[in-house]
Amino acid sequence: MINVRKFLNQKIIEVMSMLGHPVEDGLVLPSFRPDLSDYQSNIAMSWAKKLKTSPITLAHKILKVLSDIPEISKISVDGPGFINMSISENFLINNLKPALPKISHKKIVIDYGGANIAKEMHVGHLRSAIIGESIKRIMQSCGDEVIADVHLGDWGTPMGMLIAQLKKEQPELVFFKNHTKNLENISWSMNIAEISALYKRAAKNFKENDDFKEQARIATYQLQNGDAGYIALWKILKAVSLASIRKSYDKLLTTFDYWLGESDVNDLLPQMLSDLLKRKIAVESEGAIVIFLSEKENRTPPPLLLKKSDGAYTYAATDLATILQRGDMFHPDAILYVVDARQKEHFEQVFEAARLAGYVKPEVSLEHLAFGTINGKDGKPFKTRTGEAMKLKDLLNLAKDCARANLPKTSKEFSQRTLNKQAEQIAIASIKYQDLKNNRVSNYIFDTENFIKSEGKTGPYLLYAVARINSILAKAKVKNSKITDNILITHPIEREILLILEKQPEILEDAYTRREPSVISEYVYLLAQKFSTFYAECPVIQEKDQRIRNSRLTLIKFIKNTLLYHLNLLAIEAPEKMLKDKS
């Protein structure tokens, strides 16, 4: 399948060259008036003044040449010089092929996890996981080799706080004794709920008690410098946390190639800072080690703090070392960070420091793919009634309960296990689509009342469209055989659907270029809507003309496969069959 918009764009570039006016862009866009045409070009209005002619005159010169192109069925000049073009039916039918063009062949490292050990995952972790997974899949589908890293928050001050709190509550534990014996096979453990509660107590003490803050600082320093008891304790806490984190990511269909964390660069830090000092990129300042950065917009940014005066390393230091590590391990063309927009200045500083240090080549792209927050109805970050960030597992369970309530309690066709599985798929689709239909950088209000509905712009609406097509194909006894090209256009909606199907390459390229899953979300919703109209207006199984019936069966197979392909880019699973909800 070729990119129709690019095809038309190239034709106009060629025509302009033939007319002696080379251009780089034919300025082709989807038509603002779909009742008049499929695509339009504004090139005549953009270039007429430069060429000392009128837009109408230039547009008609272009029209004269393009009129002979068989792929264009209708072309006209309208208004002040718009060139309106409609695609021929033969071209629409013959171009309808499953394969999409690859547009990139880069090696990309993408960081979109960021979960912290010792804490249960909460709703604040949702967007990074959902958006990052989708961007990863979009880039892979466009031809890139993508390496996904969870980048766990498993080091630094939070770990020191946790150790200090546990030492305060249970000083008799072996981790706090003289560490002369082997600490590898200790049977002591805590579950994730206990660890999370411990961390909350530690955070409260750290905020309110200066003595405890000092104890946490000392514990952080000792952990980072290899205290045997603290390392053994940290490994246990990390293992329990990691098991819980994996379960949450698995439910979200979010996967990673590497489960590295801040701790994995700890051994790089002393040598890295020594080298930066030696090359005078970093300097000592009041007992700390910092990098002074260039002035931005008549404002001098604060120095990038790498090592505190108490000897503890900072997040900036581990993030800088991680860029160094990723460069050495993967030699990527780009490193992408799917992280909250509130970290904008942090990444600007770390990226500048990485370039000053030469940790990435000039041609390597460092990108902060910022996203907005999930808010409640009050416009503030989404929380529970108690004022805490809602745990991710609680949100998933809430969505699953809502989905299950809309399914029959029992079914002759589905087992209870299948009904529960379907409820979970509907729940995940609902949560993901509610997020991904929004522009990535926008904040959005999480709708706990309407996100699970099967009508409107929701995840279940898309799932039911796929299930309905499956039902039609099953009744028609159509197997997953090779798709043929015997499509006939006998109704206006069929042409509209073909035109939407053939926008796939440009939609995918737009989503890729902008790193924007909402482009895919909007596309699948539009296609599902058009299928709904088709289903209402065009009989398929009941169609008496066998040729038209086969044509429509072929068309809906294309619709189904296209929906599934793009839902997969959003990391949304569609059940083969679905029961209708009670409404």
pLDDT digits (tens, 9 = 90+) for 168-205: 999 999 899 875 566 777 778 899 999 999 999 999 99
* pLDDT, tens only, 491-502: 999 999 999 999
- Both 263 and 245 in a single domain? no
- Both 241 and 318 in a single domain? no
Q: Is residue 288 part of a domain?
A: yes
Q: At 373, which amino acid appears?
A: T
Q: In this predicted model, which residue has the larger pLDDT, 384 or 285?
A: 285
Please tell me the predicted confidence (pLDDT) of residue 62.
95
Q: At 560, which amino acid appears?
A: K
Q: Residue 44 maps to which CATH number?
A: 3.30.1360.70
- Both 247 and 296 in a single domain? no
The pLDDT-based confidence of 445 (bands split at 50, 70, 90) is: confident
- Both 438 and 350 in a single domain? no
Does position 447 have pLDDT exceeding 60, yes or no?
yes
Check: pTM over 0.75? Answer yes or no. yes
- Both 531 and 454 in a single domain? yes
- Both 33 and 81 in a single domain? yes
Instruction: Find the helix or strand (DSSP H, E) in which 375 lies.
Output: strand 374-375
Instruction: Find the helix or strand (DSSP H, E) in which 392 lies.
Output: helix 392-405
Does position 481 have pLDDT exceeding 80, yes or no?
no
pLDDT > 70: percent of the chain: 96
- Both 200 and 52 in a single domain? no
Integer CA distances (angstroms), 361 to 151, 170, 351, 568, in order: 22, 49, 12, 33
The pLDDT-based confidence of 479 (bands split at 50, 70, 90) is: low
Does position 29 have pLDDT exceeding 70, yes or no?
yes
Q: Is residue 583 part of a domain?
A: no
Q: Is residue 378 part of a domain?
A: no
- The Cα–Cα gap between 215 and 95 comes to 68
- Both 238 and 278 in a single domain? no
- Both 357 and 484 in a single domain? no
Does position 109 have pLDDT exceeding 60, yes or no?
yes
The encoded tokens of residue 230 equal: 């603290």
Q: How many whole angstroms from its chain centre is CA 193?
A: 29
Helices (H), 189-267: 192-208, 210-224, 228-251
- Both 271 and 216 in a single domain? no
Q: What are phi and psi of 261, to 5 degrees?
A: -140, -175
Integer CA distances (angstroms), 264 to 119, 268, 276, 307, in order: 19, 8, 20, 17
Q: What's the number of CA atoms in the CB half-sphere (13 Å) around residue 373? A: 14
The pLDDT-based confidence of 580 (bands split at 50, 70, 90) is: low
Identify the domain boundary among 251, 282, 298: 251
- Both 141 and 264 in a single domain? yes
- The Cα–Cα gap between 423 and 581 comes to 11
- The Cα–Cα gap between 382 and 76 comes to 51
Please tell me the predicted confidence (pLDDT) of residue 440.
95
Please tell me the predicted confidence (pLDDT) of residue 197.
92
Mean pLDDT of 18-31: 93
> Which segments of 49-183 are extended strands (E)?
72-78, 82-87, 107-111, 145-149
Residue with tokens 């514990």: 219
Does position 472 have pLDDT exceeding 60, yes or no?
yes
Mean pLDDT of 394-419: 86
Residue with tokens 């990673």: 256
Residue with tokens 């019936």: 549
What is the DSSP secondary structure assignment for residue 36, as one 8-state letter? T
- The residues that bridge with 299 in the sheet, in sequence order, are 296
Does position 482 have pLDDT exceeding 80, yes or no?
no
Q: Is residue 381 part of a domain?
A: no
> By C-alpha distance, which of 519, 537, 452, 399 is closest to 138?
519
Where residue 446 falls (left for φ over 0; alpha for ψ -120 to 50; beta otherwise) is beta
Q: In this predicted model, which residue has the larger pLDDT, 316 or 389?
A: 316
> By C-alpha distance, which of 393, 118, 392, 115 is closest to 239?
118
What is the DSSP secondary structure assignment for residue 179, as one 8-state letter? -
Please tell me the predicted confidence (pLDDT) of residue 306.
97
Q: Is residue 452 part of a domain?
A: yes
Integer CA distances (angstroms), 394 to 150, 377, 487, in order: 22, 18, 47
Please tell me the predicted confidence (pLDDT) of residue 484.
54
- The Cα–Cα gap between 575 and 476 comes to 19
Please tell me the predicted confidence (pLDDT) of residue 582.
46
Residues in the chain: 583
Please tell me the predicted confidence (pLDDT) of residue 320.
98
- The residues that bridge with 290 in the sheet, in sequence order, are 283, 305
Average pLDDT, the chain: 91
Q: Is residue 380 part of a domain?
A: no
Helices (H), 252-314: 269-278
Please tell me the predicted confidence (pLDDT) of residue 219.
94
- The residues that bridge with 381 in the sheet, in sequence order, are 375
Does position 241 have pLDDT exceeding 70, yes or no?
yes
- The Cα–Cα gap between 313 and 185 comes to 29
Identify the domain boundary among 87, 102, 135: 87
- Both 168 and 192 in a single domain? yes
The answer for residues whose C-beta is within 8 angstroms of residue 583's C-beta and 6 or more apart is: 406, 454
Q: What share of the chain is helix, strand, coil (3-state, %, to 5)?
A: 50, 10, 40
Identify the domain boundary among 72, 87, 102: 87
- The Cα–Cα gap between 482 and 293 comes to 59
Q: In this predicted model, which residue has the larger pLDDT, 297 or 476?
A: 476
| Residue-number span of the structural domain to which 162 is assigned | 157-251
Q: What's the number of CA atoms in the CB half-sphere (13 Å) around residue 144? A: 23
Does position 437 have pLDDT exceeding 80, yes or no?
yes
Mean pLDDT of 255-275: 95
- The residues that bridge with 122 in the sheet, in sequence order, are 391
Mean pLDDT of 96-102: 88
**Into how many domains does the chain fold?**
4
Q: Is residue 385 part of a domain?
A: no
Please tell me the predicted confidence (pLDDT) of residue 384.
65
The answer for residues whose C-beta is within 8 angstroms of residue 290's C-beta and 6 or more apart is: 282, 283, 303, 304, 305, 306
3 state SS of 332: coil
Contact, 312 vs 157, CB < 8 A? yes
Find the range with the poorest average confidence among 104-118, 302-316, 371-385: 371-385
Q: Is residue 320 part of a domain?
A: yes
The answer for residues whose C-beta is within 8 angstroms of residue 542's C-beta and 6 or more apart is: none
Please tell me the predicted confidence (pLDDT) of residue 583.
39
> By C-alpha distance, which of 557, 528, 524, 526 is closest to 540?
557
